[in-house]
C-alpha cells in the first residue's frame, strides 16, 4: 500500500470510528451503568469484559469495549475525540511521553485522588507515578506491568545442551551454537514499524542503563560513545548472521518461535498470551532478562505499562473516574491478568503462569533498574522519526551506516526536544 493510500484509509477509518463513538455513548451529561472503552487490542476485548464484571460489582459500572483495528487509526480517533463530544468514557493509551502529549492538551481528567488511594492500599508502587503523570498530576492508571525479556525455545536449548545465560558471553555463545546448528538465533524485524527500536533499546540498556535513561530524557546525545557502541554491537550480531531477515512479517513471529525456526524472541511479557493461546506451555519455552554486556554494569530491565485514562469530556466522567479508582483492586486484577497472561501493576496480585512467575523471581533477585520502554520514553514525534532511522539501519546494518544513522537521530532529537519545551 502506498503512503497516500494508507493515509486516506487511516483517515476514513478514524472518521467512521469517531461516528461510532458519538452514537454509541450516552450524550454528554447523560448517565449509564455501562462505561464505553476505546482500545486498539482486539485480543483484550474479552479480558475487558471479564474485568468489567468485577468492576460492576464494586462500582455499579460495567465496561462496553470497542476496538479500532489499526493502531495508527486508533491514535487519530483518540486525539480527535478528546477535542469533541464523541469521546468514550475510558480510553486505552500508552504511558510516559505519549500520555503527557494528551494530558498537556487538557483533554484528560485528573486522577490524583484515585492514585493516592491506590498507593495507600498498597495497590501500586508510588515510584512509578512519573510514567502516568504530567506536570505533577496523575492522568492514568496502569493496565499491566510488562517486563521486557528474551523468550527462548526450550527444545532448542535442551537439544543443544544450552543453559539460560547469566552473562553476555554465555548469551552470545548460545547464539553461535544455535546458528551453527542451522537455526536462526534471534527474531528481529522492522516490518511492523515500531519493532525497529527493540534491539537498539535492549542492547543500550544492558550496556549502560544510566546513559539510556539520560538519552531518553534528552540529557545525552545519540552521537555519544555509548550509543555508538550499542550500534556497533548490534552490527556485529548482524555480521555473525544471528538475525531473521529485517522484513520478516511481525505476525509470523509466534509460529517461527513455536516451530523452532527461531530460537529467541525479545519482547514484553505481554507477548506471553500469544504463545499460550497457540498452545505452548512451560515445557516448550521460557524467559530470561537479557544479561548485562559487562559484569560491572548495573542490572536493568525495560518496563512497559499500557494505561487507562478518562477523557475530560467523557459522557460519564465521574463514574469513569470512580471506576478507575477500583481498577487496581486485587479482585479486579486477578481476573484481568489471568485473562491477558501478563503481570499486574498491583504487587499484591499473585501470578499463576509459570513463565511470568520465573520472570518476576529473576527481577526480585537481581533488583534491576527499571527503565521505560523506548516507545514511551521520549516525545512521540522524536520516537516516530528515530524508529524509522533504526528500521533503515536494519536493512543496512553496516559499520559505515552507524555514524550517519546516529547523526540523523541526534539532529531530530535536538529539534523535537526544542519543540516539546516550547509547546
Residue pLDDT, tens place only, 252-278: 999 999 999 999 999 999 999 999 999
Per-residue pLDDT tens digits for 148-201: 999 999 999 999 999 999 999 999 999 999 999 999 999 999 999 999 999 999
**Contacts of 254-260 spanning 24+ positions with Cβ under 8 A:** 254/278, 256/184, 256/187, 257/151, 257/153, 257/187, 257/285, 258/153, 258/284, 260/153, 260/155, 260/156, 260/183
From its phi and psi, is residue 374 left (phi > 0), alpha (psi between -120 and 50) or beta? alpha
The chain-wide mean pLDDT, for the chain, equals 93
% of the chain residues with pLDDT over 90: 88
**Is 3.40.190.10 the CATH classification of the domain at 3-144+305-347?**
yes
According to CATH, the superfamily of the domain at 146-303+374-422 is Periplasmic binding protein-like II (3.40.190.10)
Return residue ranges of the chain for CATH 3.40.190.10. 3-144+305-347, 146-303+374-422
279-338 per-position pLDDT tens digit: 999 999 999 999 999 999 999 999 999 999 999 999 999 999 999 999 999 999 999 999
Cα 34 to chain centroid, rounded: 28
Confidence of residue 12 (pLDDT cuts 50, 70, 90): very low
pLDDT in tens, 90-130: 999 999 999 999 999 999 999 999 999 999 999 999 999 99
Amino acid at each position: 500500500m502506498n503512503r497516500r493510500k494508507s493515509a486516506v484509509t487511516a483517515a476514513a477509518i478514524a472518521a467512521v470510528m469517531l461516528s461510532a463513538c458519538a452514537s454509541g455513548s450516552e450524550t454528554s451529561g447523560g448517565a449509564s451503568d455501562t462505561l464505553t472503552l476505546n482500545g486498539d487490542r482486539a485480543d483484550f476485548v474479552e479480558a475487558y469484559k471479564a474485568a468489567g464484571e468485577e468492576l460492576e460489582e464494586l462500582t455499579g459500572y460495567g465496561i462496553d469495549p470497542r476496538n479500532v483495528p489499526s493502531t495508527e487509526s486508533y491514535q487519530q480517533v483518540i486525539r480527535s475525540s478528546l477535542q469533541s463530544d464523541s469521546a468514550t468514557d475510558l480510553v486505552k493509551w500508552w504511558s510516559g511521553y505519549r500520555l503527557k502529549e494528551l494530558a498537556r492538551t487538557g483533554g484528560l481528567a485528573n486522577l490524583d485522588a484515585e492514585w493516592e488511594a491506590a498507593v495507600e492500599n498498597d495497590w501500586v508502587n508510588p515510584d512509578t507515578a512519573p510514567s502516568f503523570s504530567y506536570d505533577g498530576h496523575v492522568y492514568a492508571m496502569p493496565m499491566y506491568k510488562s517486563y521486557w525479556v528474551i523468550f527462548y525455545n526450550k527444545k532448542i536449548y535442551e537439544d543443544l545442551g544450552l543453559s539460560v545465560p547469566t552473562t553476555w558471553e554465555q548469551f552470545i555463545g548460545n547464539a553461535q551454537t544455535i546458528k551453527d546448528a542451522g537455526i536462526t538465533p534471534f527474531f528481529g524485524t522492522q516490518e511492523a514499524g515500531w519493532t525497529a527500536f527493540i534491539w537498539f533499546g535492549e542492547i543500550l540498556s544492558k550496556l549502560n542503563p544510566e546513559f539510556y535513561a539520560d538519552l531518553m530524557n534528552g540529557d545525552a546525545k545519540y552521537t555519544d560513545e555509548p550509543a555508538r557502541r550499542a550500534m556497533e554491537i548490534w552490527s556485529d550480531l548482524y555480521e555473525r548472521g544471528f538475525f531473521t531477515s529485517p522484513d520478516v512479517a511481525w505476525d509470523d513471529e509466534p509460529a517461527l518461535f513455536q516451530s523452532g525456526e527461531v530460537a529467541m524472541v525479545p519482547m514484553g511479557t505481554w507477548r506471553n498470551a500469544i504463545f499460550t493461546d497457540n498452545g505452548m506451555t512451560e515445557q516448550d519455552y521460557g524467559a530470561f532478562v537479557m544479561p548485562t554486556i559487562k559484569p560491572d554494569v548495573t542490572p536493568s530491565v525495560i518496563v512497559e505499562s499500557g494505561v487507562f485514562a478518562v477523557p475530560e469530556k467523557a459522557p460519564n466522567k465521574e463514574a469513569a473516574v470512580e471506576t478507575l479508582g477500583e481498577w487496581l483492586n486485587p479482585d479486579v486484577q486477578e481476573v484481568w491478568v489471568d485473562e491477558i497472561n501478563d503481570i499486574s501493576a498491583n504487587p499484591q496480585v499473585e501470578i499463576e503462569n509459570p513463565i511470568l512467575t520465573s520472570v518476576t523471581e529473576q527481577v526480585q533477585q537481581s533488583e534491576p533498574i527499571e527503565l521505560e520502554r523506548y516507545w514511551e520514553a521520549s516525545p512521540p514525534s522524536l520516537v516516530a522519526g528515530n524508529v524509522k532511522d533504526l528500521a533503515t539501519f536494519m536493512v543496512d546494518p553496516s559499520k559505515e551506516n552507524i555514524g550517519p544513522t546516529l547523526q540523523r537521530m541526534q539532529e531530530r532529537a535536538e529539534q523535537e526536544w526544542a519543540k516539546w519545551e516550547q509547546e
